[in-house]
């Protein structure tokens, strides 16, 4: 066969693409369970981090079992418990639904000192892509105990700073209610939150990401309002 002819070229390209596709499909399929497991463990690490429990890929599962275990549940907009596994709720999908139909996961965490914390997952938009996080509240369901945030592709050094401790730490001790009204937490311009119990400092140069965090908290917490008031 003529190696430079059109028929040969087309055949060659087709066969090659099919073979490569088959190999990759097989590989992707056989590695999927391990990868899903990794994502789960990473989620546990994030959840634990919002109540200041450090864990690694090795011990995250045990620690999650110990501190949260079975005490995670889903509530609806009215604050009533509904059926389902909280850990498996995909927030990205829930946010596409109407607020009234969404499932709102709550992770109840019992710490070593006997206190109970409520961990609420949040998710929103940053500058370049999704941002997400976990906010933990004290037993009064008002005072923030800790917060942790993650992002898909915010600018390193600017928006990406939301995953740094310097941004997350000031959330502790803030409160999300004022006179029974949900006010959430405002992310102000850097340096302007001082003395404000409902605000933290944003990131200079990461304005849109900071505003994204504020909007994310406002949106997601509003769904929990009834639950938090009970």
Partner 1 sequence: MSSEKEPLFSAKNLKLITTPLGAQNPITIQVLGICSALAVTAKLEPAIVMSISVMFVTVFANLVISLLRNTIPSRIRIIVQLVVVAALVIIVDQVLQAFAYEVSKQLSVFVGLIITNCIIMGRLEAFALGNKPWPSVLDGIGNGAGYGMILIIVAFFRELFGSGTLTLPGIGELQIVPDFMYELGYVNNGFMILPPMALVVVGIIIWVQRSRNKDLIES
Binding site for partner 1 (CB under 8 A): 3-4, 8-9, 12-13, 16-17, 20, 23-24, 27-28, 31, 34-35, 38-39, 41-42, 57
Cα distances from 129 to residues 64, 70, 98, 102, in angstroms, run: 28, 32, 21, 22
Burial 76-94 (b: 16+ CB within 10 A, else e): bbebeeeeeebeebebeeb
The residue among 4 and 181 lying less far from partner 1, judged by its C-beta, is 4
CB of 49 to partner 1, least distance (A): 14
Owner of token pair 């009064």: 140
Nearer to partner 1, 39 or 100 (CB): 39
Considering the complex, state which of residue 133 and residue 223 has its C-beta at the smaller distance from partner 1. 133
Min CB(19)–partner 1 separation in Å:
9
Q: How far is the CB of 17 from partner 1 (least distance, A)?
A: 7
Of 106 and 203, which has the nearer Cβ to partner 1? 203
Within 10 Å of residue 229's Cβ, how many Cβ atoms? 13
**Dihedral over Cα of 161, 164, 169, 174: its sign:** positive
CB of 156 to partner 1, least distance (A): 9
């Amino acid at each position: 066969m003529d190696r430079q002819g059109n028929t040969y070229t087309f055949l060659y390209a087709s066969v090659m693409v099919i073979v490569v596709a088959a190999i990759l499909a097989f590989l992707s399929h056989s590695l999927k369970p391990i990868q899903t497991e990794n994502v789960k463990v990473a989620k546990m690490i994030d959840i634990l981090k919002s109540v200041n429990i450090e864990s690694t890929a090795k011990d995250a599962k045990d620690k999650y079992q110990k501190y949260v275990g079975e005490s995670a549940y889903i509530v609806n907009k009215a604050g009533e418990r509904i059926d389902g596994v909280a850990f498996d709720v995909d927030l990205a999908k829930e946010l596409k639904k109407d607020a009234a139909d969404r499932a709102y996961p709550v992770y109840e965490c019992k710490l070593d000192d006997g206190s109970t914390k409520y961990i609420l997952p949040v998710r929103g938009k940053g500058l370049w892509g999704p941002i997400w996080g976990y906010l933990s509240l004290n037993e009064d369901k008002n005072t923030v105990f800790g917060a942790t945030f993650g992002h898909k592709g915010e600018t390193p050094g600017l928006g990406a700073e939301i995953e740094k401790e310097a941004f997350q730490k000031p959330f502790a001790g803030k409160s999300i209610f004022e006179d029974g009204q949900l006010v959430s937490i405002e992310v102000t311009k850097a340096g302007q939150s001082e003395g404000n119990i409902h605000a933290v400092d944003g990131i200079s140069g990461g304005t849109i990401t900071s505003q994204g965090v504020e909007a994310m908290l406002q949106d997601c917490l509003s769904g929990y309002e009834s639950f938090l008031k009970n």
